[in-house]
Structure 1
Amino acid sequence: MRISEESMPVLSVSALNSTAREIIEGNFPLLRVEGEISNFSAPGSGHWYFSLKDSRAQVRCAMFRQRNLYSRVQPRNGLQIQVLAQPTLYEGRGEFQLIIEQLQESGEGDLQARFLALKEKLAAEGLFEAHLKRPLPTWPQRVAVITSATGAALHDIRATLARRWPLLSVLVYPVLVQGDQAAGQIVEALGRANARSTEDVLILARGGGSTEDLWCFNEEMVARAIRASRIPVVTGIGHEIDFTIADFASDLRAATPTAAAEAVSPDRNEWLPKVQAQHYQLEKLMLRKMQDESQRLDFLQIRLRHPGEGLDAAQRRLQLARENLTRAMALQLSSQAQQLAYLQERRARQDPGQRLQILEKQLRQSQKNLGTVMLNILQRADLRQQQSTSALRLLDPLAVLQRGFAVIRDTSGRVIFESQSTHPGEQLVATLARGRIHCEVTRSDPENP
């Protein structure tokens, strides 16, 4: 059945191109394409536009700014590259094109595989372990730079070190930083720097470039030479996005040569105020020390006397010693005389007649003292007897009765203490101070009136 021309839909050009774009993008995934760059342009928008061609065909390509910003390869006409791209159709002109996601030089895929294999091998050996990293000196005095003598990296490093810490001494080991002989020269420079052992830290640096340009820093011999170095090694290779095997082996990886110079040098703008403050404190301490020493010198000058004054003082001390000796001898003689008198008195006391007189005198005194003591004892005993008699009189029941009280008993002789223990008609006996009264209970009240 044939479709008549009248029944066929009519498409606009934009609808046709949109449908074609959807068909192309829907049927083609991301593709890896290789070719040579031609007609490269980079307008102010930041996007890259070029053609990718081989010997028989070409295709238009676009790499937008947000993608090419991180590219390590700078496109140029005639450069052989590989791209990871999405085929599509530019609807505005109806042109088939590739939207580039990644771009690398041809052969870079093999280099990346070699890079990853060597990195994995050295990491398995522990060559990149953090505990192997040597600490950088806080106050380095000498820095060695291993880089190209004509490259911009050396100029940036010198300028940064001069700006941050002009006191640093910089020694340059010029080497090739690209090509087949570069790795050997870098290893040799590391060996010579360690043989000298005069530098405090080493900087291994070069500017940016493609993977092939930087490949000498991915050589195994360079990584092992860095780890064998006794001097700490800081790498500043390429740009921020560039990582090499040397970066993993180094003691510190800096993003750029300038950053490497900043990493090894103190900042004078930070330390100058601190040094000035310490200088001020040192001046104060020195001034105070000079004042103390000046006062001490004055004191020593005061103490320093003429030798004649010393002799006079010695003579005065000698005279004083003589006087002290004379007094001491006089005191000693007086003490000896007192001792002699004591011994004579003691000898006299030990004479039998004298001893008897002393004992008789002591006996008479003892008899006198005994009489006094006996009299005192009798007087105290008489006083205690009088006190006891007075106390007994106070405790005598008859004395209470003499004050008008009476002792009430029943016929059995039991003492009555309360009215409730009696009953009317009961016979009671009241003992008075003189005599008794026989009475009869007529009434008893439980409470006092």
Structure 2
Amino acid sequence: MAVQSTSNQTSALANRAVKDVYPVSRLVREARVLLEGSFPLIWVEGEISNLAMPASGHIYFTLKDEAAQVRCAMFRNRNNQLRFTPENGMQVLLRVRVSLYEGRGEFQLIVEHMEEAGSGALQRAYEALKHRLGQEGLFDQTHKKTLPILPKSIGIISSPDGAAVHDIVSVLKRRFPAVDVVLYPVAVQGENSAGQLIAAVKLADQRRDCDVIIIGRGGGSLEDLWSFNDEQLARAIFACELPIISAVGHEIDFTICDFVADVRAPTPSAAAELAVPDVQQYVLNFQRYQQQLTHIIRHRLTSEQRHLQHLHRALPRPELILRQQTQWLTQQKRMLDSAWHHQLLNYQQKLDYLSVRLKHPRAQIEKQRSVLKSLTHRLQTAYRTHQKSINLQFSSLQLRLQRQVPLSQLREQQNALQTLSKQNHRLIHQHLDKARQFLAQQVRTLAAVSPLNTLDRGYSITSKQNSGEVITVASEVAPGDSVLVRLHQGQLSCEVKKVDEK
């Protein structure tokens, strides 16, 4: 879309009396889009009232404080994650999206997450620390240490007055009474409890007077268990070289200590069961192994005894074996003597035959000397004949080569090459002249159709500021859109105030 200037366009639009009437649905829809685009996900705290939980699974209520109230909706796919049942008068903390219900034109909040306001701050701090330590790798299984199969000593880090210690000790006595127990007394809740827990973990790791550590306490609220969510305690557990079992609270309670420890037990009693084997089961296993070993030894002895009896029956008497071996040796001696006598006769016959055929060496030398002289004469004759043939061929080739020297042809080819080189230079210059003329013509044509000449005459090019798409029709933009107007010199960033499609 081309305009002469922004001021001319604004004045032209102001002079047009075109009414833009909004239907109610359009107004409400654009208001909803404006609201949802202006607010990100936010946290809101207030009191629940007018609670409705229909069979559809959605939850509708009003969130209020002393000065205002707002309608809220929490859909079924979100409230399935609730850990409590909402009630009227309950103080809650919500993570919401700001929206507008188009059917009634009512302002409302779409709830993504709901938690009780009392523990909300602690829960958010817990989730943030859990996410950060997980990103650092403190919870990775590759760092988990294996528990010893038969530990000699168990270290317990807990309150000496709590029920957790008594539960652990009673289970250890019942399952494996021979194991030693080392108690590191600490406070498990309160202002200084986290520091005592950290010091106990480091002390146990330094003293090495136990093979595995159980750290934990009984159940309680999130505030009661908060010492076990301390970041420095998590890092101390991660750095400890002894395997650690975390047994904090009940089975539904989870702390940072549970995630960073090598093993997490649902209760302190379960931690004791994980730390040591059952001695009764060991005794039963030993008895079963003893019975199996006794059975295997008896079966092996019976089998070997039977095999020995079989060998005794199969073994013949020594005098019988000696007689048989003597007879075999006598037979072998007779066969060897006969074979030796027969071989000696054969050698004697061959010697007589060769002595008849053997001639005197002097006669054989004279015969070979005569053959050598004949071969020498034939070789000399053949060499002289071949030498003459080679000389004749060489002379013939030398004459042919002298007649074929290409000096005259070389001069002709040099003259032809010079002629072709001059023609080539001339054609190249002609081709370059034609190319320069064609390029000049194209430049003149391009200058004639260039939009820069049009801009020089007072026109402009208008495009969308975000996409750069050129605007040719007024309906392609709406009031409030940003456009870019390019002039002959420079450009303008403008906002559309009004659109007249006619």
- Give the alignment's TM-score, normalised by structure 2: 0.38
Larger % of helix: which?
Answer: 2
- Give the alignment's TM-score, normalised by structure 1: 0.41
Larger relative contact order (CA 8 Å, sep ≥ 6): 2
Which structure has the bigger radius of gyration? Answer: 1
